[in-house]
A = this chain, B = another copy of it.
Amino acid sequence: MIPVAIMGGSGYTGVELMRLIAGHPGLELSAVSSARFKDQAVDTVFGALEGMGDLSFVDHDPAALADGAELVFLAVPHKAAMAAAPGLLEAGAKVVDLSADFRLRDQAVYEQWYAPHTAPQLLSEAVYGLPEFYRDLIPPARLVANPGCYVTSVLVALAPLLRAGLVEPEGLIADSASGVSGAGRSAKLNLIHGEVHENFKAYAVDGHRHTPEMEQELSVAAGQEVRLTFTPHLLPMDRGILSTIYAKPAGGADADAVRECWRQAYDGEPFIRPLPPGRLPACKEVRGTNRVQLGVAVDPRSGLIKLFSALDNLTKGASGQAMQNANLMLGLAETAGLTELALTP
């Protein structure tokens, strides 16, 4: 069993990492840190983690975390992640960072959307951790930047089509909705049940931080700079993202061409599932899994291509994908610990 550690275990992505590690055949959790819950037993703080054995939260000490682990998951907020990453790497640990700190290759873009970068020397080394796109780069990497949740849902659907020239790179729109766990586990008024339940609304409509990340990777796929209109919405549910993407067909592409493109791009991929005609992605069908469902329709009136992409924001959108990256970095089977089916209903 390979020891791994988690820095930041009190949020939903940290808890999801612990759930996945507990069910993993080749990993064991050496330590998990939390400022808020330091010295408290993990399964007392989170009753849902009952059964993962004796373990208490420790300090956010990079050296100590790296000491007993081959790989450390960074599940702390951005800024805290780039503060910790250099120390972890120096201490010899591999790092999968679930924050945004190493996702954007261009420091200026990062600083425009987030904050001054305090570890820019690592930007060129960090590998963008979408295994379906960068599988070869991940095993040798020391530092993997785990993609954003919305970003993954959009890229998996759209990038192969741009690469194949089946959709125009102009006029792309991604209209996405996420369960509320995407906003984290914190005591904020806008997250309480009375505000979220029986509600639905858009947010961050003037520009969400996942936009430049989507554009970075879509531009790679298109071979030219791509601009995207992105609108996130908040769903009255815990888990799940559905992205509905509008694109202009190029070269007469139709739904069959899209499905064939996906089939070629994802043939043999364990986690990406283009659905057959007549079926559409549904958040509940991928809940708790590392899977993405893809669907397509062509609007009979406008001719626009509509893409649909469903994933679980905490699994393939965060901790599941982080585990997939860790598996690759540690020489394990890519699907290890990620094979369970969706919990339904």
Contacts and interface: CB of A to CB of B under 8 A. Distances in A.
A193 B23 contact: no
B344 A273 contact: no
A268 to B, nearest CB: 14
Interface in A215-264: 215, 227-229, 231, 233, 235-240, 242, 244, 246
Number of copies: 4
Contact of A193 (B207, B238, B240, B288): B238
A47 B285 contact: yes
Contacts of A345: 12, 181, 185, 193-195, 197-198, 238-239
Interface in A1-60: 12, 15, 18-19, 22-23, 44, 46-52
Residue with the highest number of chain B CB atoms closer than 10 Å, among A46, A202, A206, A310:
A202
Contacts of A233: 177, 242, 244
A177 B227 CA distance: 25
A15 B194 CA distance: 12
Interface of A: 12, 15, 18-19, 22-23, 44, 46-52, 171, 173, 175, 177, 179-181, 185-189, 191-203, 205-207, 211, 215, 227-229, 231, 233, 235-240, 242, 244, 246, 273, 275-276, 279-289, 291, 293, 295, 297-302, 304, 306, 308, 310, 339-345
Closest 4 CB pairs of A and B: A194-B345, A47-B285, A199-B284, A48-B342
